[in-house]
Structure 1
Amino acid sequence: MASSNITVSTLTLTMAELGPLNPLPVVGSELEEPYSVGEGVPEELQAATRYGVVPNVYPYLMQDGYSRAAAPRELTAVVLENSKLKATVLPSMGGRIWELFDKATGKQLLHTHAAPQIANIALRKAWFAGGLEWNIGTRGHSPTSCDPLHTAIVHTSDGKHILRMWEYERLREVVFQVDIWLPADSEVLLAAVRIRNPNDHDVPVYWWSNAAIPETDRTRVIAPAEEAFSADYATDITRVTPTNHEGYDGTWLVNSPHAADFFFDIDPSERRWVVAADDDGDGLAMLSTDLLRGKKLFVWGQGAGGKRWQEWLSPGAGPYAEIQAGLARTQFEHLAMPAGSQWCWVEAYGNGSLDPGISHGTDWQAAVAHAGERLETLMPREELESLLPAAIRDADVPPSTMVRIGSGWGALERARRRRAGRSWVAESGTPFVLESLTEEQEPWLGLLKGQAFDGAPSFVAGADWEGLLAGQESPEAHYHLATMRHARQDLEGATEEYRRVLESNGARPATIALARRGLALVLLAAGSEQEGLAELRTAVRRNPSNTWLLTEAATLAVRHGDPAMALELTGSAPTEGTAVGRLMFLKATALARSGRAAEAAAILRAGVEIPDLREGEDAIAALWEEVCAGEPVPAAYQFGMH
């Protein structure tokens, strides 16, 4: 099957720089599940929601050094094009398919724009709206959302030209790859995904391919199911009928009054697909082989908060929704991937080209039947399934041309496993080259070689690393050992190591400050609020130039009822940089908690913008209602999801 041409080019987007990584290790219980399970949810699904839950994304560091100051950036772009479609992929931004252009209609099938705004939506915060992304790890947008992936062009013996992207996922310790190709004259873009578990134990796995689609007044989303599992940022996960949900038909994007998820409960015997159709019947169709079971619709909703989020994420680009495909029925579940196994599937993307007279009619079953027939013409089920064996074989074909190098974590993991005599993946199709190693990995590589460990700007996890660090005597080794134990919620073990740092001679001031910060978090988690806040105050005094530490300390001071401490800290805060908006808001909150509402109101009226405002965070509006009672909340502060 001959393929279209692949060309490597550049694409200029107006967006902020990612900025520096947050150096504070993510060690607390940050990923608490916001939903509980309600009526109509099967027991096996409930059990799957309890399996594989992690407290945090350690050893990853947070990506929150960005601002909202956008400027033109030139990004590597790989273009796959034939007579029907043109796809543009961004390897340096998580491997996202940024554009899928249908030549027959002249329409972009994906929500895409020239000025994406980085915002706090992903597991590591940094994320941007638009295109089609790959999510792995745990519930949320992937740790690799804004990271460069290893990328190459692969030529197979049967004439395919494949764009391959791959990376080592550190949370689950698996390797994933995405092979994308566009056959000549094909109406669909094809993607084969492979996940490999090199471990000698089962691994909880999560995967969702997430496509942003343009939202119009007449866009409808269809999938072969009568019912769905739904959640909406305020209620339990429940079984619902999307076409008759809370008095409206939720399959029409503009009908939902608030943000909502609909995970279509597709019968295992049915083909897996979901399609969006605009007023002309055009829109993205997502089809997959049977392993990729889940299909989802997400809408921001028509409320003020949903509209504000859309403008926050895609300034001037118009509204959008998302259709998604995943391994499980919902995004609240993980699946157990057996030791040493690999999972593979194929996805297809193209224009559904439905008849709007049927797809937009009142008969849901007729709309589903029509869409199923149309998609069977677009890409027959048997034909898509027949592509899987070749895709599995092609996955190990060596790259012909490297486009860019990803992180050095895969190369380090290979070295760790070889030293321990443990299995690893075959790298013929996905090489983790030594050139990928940087200063992030070098101290850990040295530790594997028996060198003395004197600190690292990065973090690692696992019993092997803990064993190696336990044989070291430097304060930095004890600090990193403390963070590993803390991250897996061994608070007693973490406390012991943090105190060893504080009692040692020769520890760097920055290391002492971070150890005090870690000890403070342990104390706060144990309910010792005064002791914990005292440790935080001392930590900031030890390292006053660490804005991340100062911001965290002020946040925790407000949260644990010490507004005076928050005012003290924000009083010496920097007046420039990406943290200024967050610090000004913290100051306003602390003023309000100190009975100084008028001063807090003055700050809000002057304008506060928080670049890393978290999805679902409605604290600015809540503070406005408190200190500016009776005055309407400005539209710029309305971020409520429900």
Structure 2
Amino acid sequence: MTDSQAERTTLRRDVLTLPGVAVGAPDPLPPLRPLDELHELDDRSKQGMPRDMARQIGYEKLRSVLPERLKNGYGRERAPLTLDTLVIENDRLRVTVLPGLGGRIHSMFHKPTGRELLYRNPVFQPADFALNGAWFSGGIEWNIGATGHTTLSCAPLHAARVTAPDGGDMLRLWEWERLRDLPFQVDLWLPAGSDFLHVGVRIRNPHERPAPVYWWSNIAVPEEHRVLAPADEAWHFGYERSLRRVPVPEFDGVDRTYPLSGEYPADYFYEVPDGQRRWIAALDDDGHGLVQTSTDLLRGRKLFLWGHGAGGRRWQEWLTEPGTGGYAEIQAGLARTQLEHVRLDAEGEFAWLESYGPLSAAPDAVHSAEDWAAARGEVEECLEAALPRADVDAAYEAWRPHADTEPGEVLAAGSGWGALEVLRGDFKLPGTPFDESTLGPSQTPWIDLLRTGSIPEPRRVGPPGPTLVAPYWRDMLETAPAQPLTEYHLGVAQWHAGDLAQAVRSWERGLELAPSLWPLLRCLAVADQEAGHRERAADRYAEAFDDLCQERRDDGEAWTAATAALGREAIDALLAARRPGPARAVWDRLHAATRARGRFRLVEARLLIAEGDKEAARAVFDEGFEVADLREGSEAIAELWAHLAAPGERLPDQYDFSMRPRES
């Protein structure tokens, strides 16, 4: 089909309505504790791996999610939810994007065959999988930052219309990623008459120092498909925290390219040989499905599967709607594995192009049980026929000059943090404008610090806003007048930098004149916990919660979130110090709606056990509860159940979220 015969590519706004829940207010307490990261390795796994891989696994691991806040204010009672979408469409594909949710591609519909190419989640249900909490499954997400799902999973991105290399419309998404302090962009280009969506990605480092970079494009596909990639070996990561090289497709007598063949959740990072075309595909019983390919910079390919075990099945139900089918993830990244971070030189950039589209191959070859090379070869030949490797390279070269094109019509707005950083650093970032019009209340204190050298004290008490922790902001805080709010922010920045003693001194200085004590007391309580001072931590938590209860002005979202977050931490600290009485006093002052949440029903069961009332704690389990923000890999429910179960009594299915074999 010629360009003149093809239907013109269009880009338009639309809305999507589906059952869902709001993400809710962020946790107002700064996340001071070390990152709860599942992807840690035992020492044995680090032996014998390639030198570059070992170096990148140890390079600039993330200590915390500061300056981000945790997002855990969602529940599980769904109602019709309307989401803004952007739709880019030609006569072959219709691609639906969620600009307010990390720029996620929600759907990729192939018109000629009537097939949805992705796993399209029929609900919007946040769960605690992102580095900072709220995440949801389905579609294609853009993971930048550090090992794990991006903090932007449930955050808005800037979006605008841009002229594509072929003269049509291209959708640009961009934001400032705050964990690594880097701007990035994602350009969605759907040429007229094309079966393939091209995605140009650029990450820039505008600073005068190198930066660690992490990127994985994460594609959800139906789990009944076979996953194929050009590799004979893979690095297998199990959630017992081991990494080992295994053969593909079969090891331990099981073909692992079928996501339902394994029992437990697992990652398979394919060892794609140098010089080999980069691609990964997921194809159904008839040989139909999705293929993703890219220019060579995006070297890694991965399969994540939930498996057929009870825990994996429960997670599948948890993240979507029971009875609607499960999903697996095929992914593409800058490194071999997701445990690695790649160095980006000062004032340098990474740029590449990915392509996504339908693929059909001979099913007998695709599902050959005896000949993996033939199965791979069939897919590669069909891919080359549908989208030659040379065409991907040519599309990259065509897109590259357009990466600097200034956006036209603004279609959605992201955060104001990028505008603040551009204002501070006077950065020139062609193609990704961070306009001062996007600055908001969260940035206001920091604009004052930048322009006047000080942060004004608030006119009325309330939970403090977010803290900036990058070295240059920390330097400004250190030279600012030593007011209580400044000392609070300075302590958080010093804590993030690893200067724990100085952080404690800053918080203690802030206490001397602070009208609001609880934020500083809570920070000092965390410091006590990390130093092993359990009793003093409990004292400070109890004092902080008392102060908060006296100070809170209403039952609005901000104060309710602060009360819930601080109350939960205070009860944990008091129970750790074996003080169930004061813990009960904290519980009684929580809002009734907070106590009814699933997370707090679990807290209540712990409290009842500490009070010696196992029968009442067991009744909490028997009545049933759902911990909406249960962390990926958490075993808290099973561990508590072990204190209550009769000998030989198994964990009820509704509470079984196991991601690894249970220790005997």
TM-score, normalised to structure 1's length? 0.95
2:139 equivalent in structure 1: 131
- Asked if 1:462 is matched to 2:499, the reply is no
- Contact 2:9–2:191 (8 Å) recurs in 1: yes
Tell me the CA shift for residue 172 of structure 1. 0.8
Worse-superposed segment, 555-564 or 203-212: 555-564
- Contact 1:466–1:484 (8 Å) recurs in 2: yes
- Contact 2:299–2:334 (8 Å) recurs in 1: yes
Amino acid at match of 2:440: T
Amino acid at match of 2:447: L
- Asked if 1:531 is matched to 2:536, the reply is yes
Worse-superposed segment, 188-197 or 627-636: 627-636
1:474 equivalent in structure 2: 483
Tell me the CA shift for residue 565 of structure 1. 4.5
Tell me the CA shift for residue 515 of structure 1. 0.7
1:586 equivalent in structure 2: 603
Query: Residues 626 and 445 of structure 1: is their aligned pair in 2 closer, same or farther, counting only changes over 3 Å?
Result: same
SS in structure 2 of the partner of residue 620 of structure 1: helix
| Aligned counterparts of 1:610 and 1:51: Cα–Cα separation in 2 | 34
1:322 equivalent in structure 2: 329
- Contact 1:58–1:171 (8 Å) recurs in 2: yes
- Asked if 1:635 is matched to 2:621, the reply is no
Query: Residues 233 and 566 of structure 1: is their aligned pair in 2 closer, same or farther, counting only changes over 3 Å?
Result: farther
Tell me the CA shift for residue 579 of structure 1. 7.3
SS in structure 2 of the partner of residue 395 of structure 1: helix
2:413 to 405, 411, 417: 405
| Aligned counterparts of 2:496 and 2:489: Cα–Cα separation in 1 | 11
- Asked if 1:14 is matched to 2:19, the reply is yes
1:95 equivalent in structure 2: 103
Tell me the CA shift for residue 279 of structure 1. 0.6
2:286 to 280, 286, 291: 280
| Aligned counterparts of 1:579 and 1:160: Cα–Cα separation in 2 | 52
Query: Residues 379 and 520 of structure 1: is their aligned pair in 2 closer, same or farther, counting only changes over 3 Å?
Result: same
**1:13-42 CA-partner distances (Å, limit 9, x unpaired):** 221111111111112212455333526522
Tell me the CA shift for residue 156 of structure 1. 4.2
* Number of aligned positions between the proteins: 630
| Aligned counterparts of 2:256 and 2:133: Cα–Cα separation in 1 | 29
Query: Residues 181 and 358 of structure 1: is their aligned pair in 2 closer, same or farther, counting only changes over 3 Å?
Result: same
TM-score, normalised to structure 2's length? 0.92
| Aligned counterparts of 1:582 and 1:606: Cα–Cα separation in 2 | 14
- Asked if 1:430 is matched to 2:417, the reply is no
Query: Residues 517 and 194 of structure 1: is their aligned pair in 2 closer, same or farther, counting only changes over 3 Å?
Result: same
Query: Residues 160 and 251 of structure 1: is their aligned pair in 2 closer, same or farther, counting only changes over 3 Å?
Result: same
- Contact 2:40–2:241 (8 Å) recurs in 1: no
Amino acid at match of 1:443: P
- Contact 1:94–1:148 (8 Å) recurs in 2: yes
- Asked if 1:391 is matched to 2:391, the reply is no
1:112 to 102, 120, 128: 120
Amino-acid identity (%): 40
2:228 equivalent in structure 1: 222
Q: CA RMSD in A?
A: 1.8
SS in structure 2 of the partner of residue 569 of structure 1: helix
Amino acid at match of 2:437: E
Amino acid at match of 2:109: F
1:244 equivalent in structure 2: 250
| Aligned counterparts of 2:64 and 2:229: Cα–Cα separation in 1 | 33
- Contact 2:122–2:321 (8 Å) recurs in 1: no
2:501 equivalent in structure 1: 492
Tell me the CA shift for residue 488 of structure 1. 2.2
- Asked if 1:342 is matched to 2:349, the reply is yes
Amino acid at match of 2:347: G
Tell me the CA shift for residue 9 of structure 1. 1.3
**1:142-200 CA-partner distances (Å, limit 9, x unpaired):** 01111110000112474131000000111111110000011112111110000000011
Tell me the CA shift for residue 563 of structure 1. 4.7
Amino acid at match of 1:631: E
1:421 equivalent in structure 2: none
- Asked if 1:573 is matched to 2:578, the reply is no
Amino acid at match of 1:538: E
1:352 to 350, 354, 359: 359
| Aligned counterparts of 1:200 and 1:599: Cα–Cα separation in 2 | 59
Tell me the CA shift for residue 560 of structure 1. 5.9
Tell me the CA shift for residue 5 of structure 1. 1.6
| Aligned counterparts of 2:498 and 2:539: Cα–Cα separation in 1 | 22
| Aligned counterparts of 1:478 and 1:541: Cα–Cα separation in 2 | 22
| Aligned counterparts of 1:308 and 1:554: Cα–Cα separation in 2 | 29
- Contact 1:566–1:586 (8 Å) recurs in 2: no
| Aligned counterparts of 2:580 and 2:157: Cα–Cα separation in 1 | 43
Worse-superposed segment, 632-641 or 268-277: 632-641
1:255 equivalent in structure 2: 261
- Contact 1:163–1:179 (8 Å) recurs in 2: yes
**1:486-506 CA-partner distances (Å, limit 9, x unpaired):** 122211010110110112x2x
| Structure 2 gap segments, 5+ residues each | 459-463, 553-562
1:449 to 442, 448, 451: 451
SS in structure 2 of the partner of residue 329 of structure 1: coil
- Contact 1:242–1:262 (8 Å) recurs in 2: no
